[in-house]
Structure 1
Amino acid sequence: MPGFWMVRAGEGGYLAKEFVEKECVAVGFDGVGSFEQLTTLGAFKGRLLGVYPDDSPGKRAGAAGVGHKFRTLVQRGDRILTYDPDTRLYHLGRVEGDYEYRPGFVSDYSHVRRVKWDRQILRDTLSSGVRNTLGSTLTLFEPGDAILQEMLRSGVSAETPAVLDEEDRGDETTIYLEQLSRSHEFIADRVNRLSPHEMEQLLAALLRTMGFKARVTLPGPDRGRDVVASPDGLGLQSPRIFCEVKHRKGSIGAPEVRSFTSTLRGDDRGLFLSTGGFTREAKYEGDRSHVPVTLVDLEELVRLVVEHYEQFDTVGRALIPLDRVY
């Protein structure tokens, strides 16, 4: 029976688009060299001990397990999954190639398996149990057949959690990072469920925690000014911050950013929030704007909410009710 694997696309999923474009998955392991001769788990442990002597035994054991699985246990025909947090899409495909050592083919990652991607699954269509399991920070693990069946059916509940062996679990740092990642995804899910008007209210609440007086504008044509903020609340003191909010509108392109920046003058500052992310061209347009403009996607919004949550007023806390876990 073919296997089913989840491969993280680097820290924060920054390599996901490259995985999809180049039809592959990859892992890092700086300084380790080719895996070609490392055919056993013991061989991996020996190599990593020489390369990373200062790492804890638990961390080295976890890394050796990842390398061994990627090199030897992952087989042609296995199902494989990766996640792009910018688009909130899981990409599902089949492994089509054996292990390859290809420095420079994928940014930062030299160890590659060829993949044929054949399905996309929006994270919001999956059950909470599946989302929690797939939120693991582990580089490579087996989510289980029940998870795969829900991915294929899209929307059918799966109760079976992933079973992680001791090498997968790693040390306390790995466990901490895993829980942090799951919490981040949980908050992102909560934020993404807000209505467009609630998203504007959340942004205004966030700006208030940063010391500004912010308000949501009235419904109707606003010329890219869904939220307005300034030190005095009247717009008489600089900086005046004008905010455009696009929620569930897909990835924002350069024309939308250009239209937004064209309305800004003098000491104005711009903030464009798009929960669907921005294209590369849109980011370039923001960088070359004649006035300072900040582009905020869903991941950055969640980071800011977590960072400033203790200072949120009652409006912000009502929109995203959270409890701190120590």
Structure 2
Amino acid sequence: MVERAFMVRAGNDNELVEDFESRSLVAISWAELGDVSEIRSYDEMKSQFNAIDAYSKHNDRHIAQSAGQVHRFAVEMEEGHLVLSYDKTEREYLIGQVTGDYEWEPGDHPPGYPHVRRVDWKDSISRDVFTTATKNTLGSTLTVFSLDDRLDEIRAVLAGNIPDGSEDDEESVPFVDEVANQADELISDILANMDPFVFEELVAAVLRAMGYHAKKTRDRQDRGIDVIAHPDALGFEEPYIKVQVKRQQSTVGSPDMRAFTGTLGNGERGLFVSTGGYTKDARDAARTAEQRVTLIDRDAFIDLLIQHYDELEAEYQATVPLKRVYIPSQDPPLKE
């Protein structure tokens, strides 16, 4: 048997931790799936989710993520593997060892959590004992996830050896930066899969949120210009801004840039938005253009979107649904 470790959360809000400990088990919900003891592969698990009305209405990412968690619990987890569960009231991790096969127990307690694994709990370990890197891993919001890359540290802690986290803490990325980077990548995923015409509308909406009067042009009249914007409602004030929008993976080259700058007349400014970025020649062409041109790549657009999100019209917030959360602006100070 290959040594492995898994985290299983004690319900949605820590409500099952006493049951887990007193009944020597871990359990997960997804009750509508039924008994999955005959399922042996991840693809079979996904098919089971897609066959259930309660789950098939979810998007592909949600189904894939849920199927992965149940597969880890019912198939990958084996007798002898380590399992952790968090008691957030005490800020302690229960650490135990799986003692048997997957069980389907729909009539057993806790109700609504019929997928069960029996566990021999070995110890309770304070969260503060672990290194920053391990605490970040343990902080995942998934119900079931692998801790294989932290197995050595977990075994050491279980044996009473407190890890020296000084080197780990010095090299680890601050949590706030890690979360921000992950959020940017997830937003980028949404933009990458957005219809190009919807993305053009979103660019116009962000400009309106910034205080400009902006609208998407009519396709047959745009001559390569996707959005027009200006400071006042009637369009009398300068600058008159022409915007070209490219939602693509490839970089914009100098021919496209020169074609764009050629549409700019006196008193007009250019704004080029490209999620794929720009070649050096394209940037040079924009810099030497007769009229001023501003370039916005994917990261810069995401920054603008986040900065002006609260002022964005509701229909466009719905295209990139974001939620404001508060996290520590820095990791806890190192212990001496």
What TM-score, normalized by structure 1, do the two folds share? 0.48
What TM-score, normalized by structure 2, do the two folds share? 0.47
